[in-house]
Amino acid sequence: MNFEKKLEEVKAIAIARFNKSMNIELGAESIHGLEHWKKVEQNAILLSKQNGVDEEVVRLFAYLHDCRRQHDFEDLEHGYRASKFVIKLYKIGILSFLSDDRVKKLAEACEHHNTGDVRELDPTIGACYDADRIELIRFGITPEPIFMSTEMGKWIAEKIKENEYNNVSFLRVNQ
């Protein structure tokens, strides 16, 4: 199984689902679209260097967590819909390369990513949350360390808060 190939397939499906849900072509117009997902994936790659974090699950999260949004602003149920979409993708074989436990973590991370939940007990779910929350800076919101789930996520939020960096380009990998 080639993960990169499967990830490209999931990206294409997520983009199509997002376009249908938002009734737009995925592009710069959406603050929760492809550019955001790419940044979340970059954060995910960095955060996955921590012990116990499943890089493949966190990278899949990057492209699935917002793919069922129906609106860029008030859409409190989008995480729940994304979770159900993950389960559907597993049942139809798209995510069949994941174990039941990994699918459960991915679905749970999608479902609760927008609720303010902090998961320090599961490093993979926590890294999913942190990868997305670091991107709050795109709204001019500084992520608070207290709302980060992993040690690295807390460190990054502290550095942003301390304003030691004018931007978070130091987070970007593979640019």
C-alpha span between 171 and 4 (Å, rounded):
21
C-alpha span between 34 and 164 (Å, rounded):
28
Residue 163 has pLDDT above 90, yes or no: no
Residue 66 has pLDDT above 80, yes or no: yes
Which residue would you say has higher pLDDT here, 65 or 26?
65
- In the structure encoding, which two tokens stand for residue 8, read together? 């490209």
Average pLDDT of 146-157?
A: 92
Per domain, the residue ranges of the chain are 3-171
Residue 18 to residues 23, 30, 105, 155: CA-CA distances in angstroms? 8, 10, 21, 32
- pLDDT value at residue 88: 93
Q: Which long-range contacts (CB under 8 A, 24 or more apart) does 11-15 make?
A: 11/37, 11/63, 13/89, 13/94, 14/63, 14/64, 14/67, 15/67
Residue 78 to residues 52, 70, 87, 91, 101: CA-CA distances in angstroms? 27, 7, 14, 20, 22
- pLDDT value at residue 173: 47
Average per-residue pLDDT for the chain? 83
- Cβ neighbors of 167 (< 8 A, separation 6 or more) are none
pTM, to two decimals? 0.83
Contact 37, 14 (CB under 8 A): yes
Note the pLDDT tens digit of each residue in 93-111: 999 999 999 999 999 999 9
For residue 138, give the nearest of 57, 66, 59 by alpha carbon. 66
- pLDDT value at residue 106: 97
Residue 14 to residues 23, 46, 69, 85, 101: CA-CA distances in angstroms? 14, 22, 11, 9, 21
pLDDT category, 171, cuts 50, 70, 90? low
For residue 102, give the nearest of 122, 130, 82 by alpha carbon. 122
- pLDDT value at residue 174: 45
Which residue would you say has higher pLDDT here, 169 or 52?
52
Calculate the CA 146 to chain-centre distance: 19
Weakest-pLDDT range from 16-20, 39-43, 52-56, 164-168: 164-168
How is domain 3-171 classified at the architecture level of CATH?
A: Orthogonal Bundle (1.10)
Note the pLDDT tens digit of each residue in 36-47: 888 999 999 999
Weakest-pLDDT range from 12-21, 108-117, 127-136: 12-21
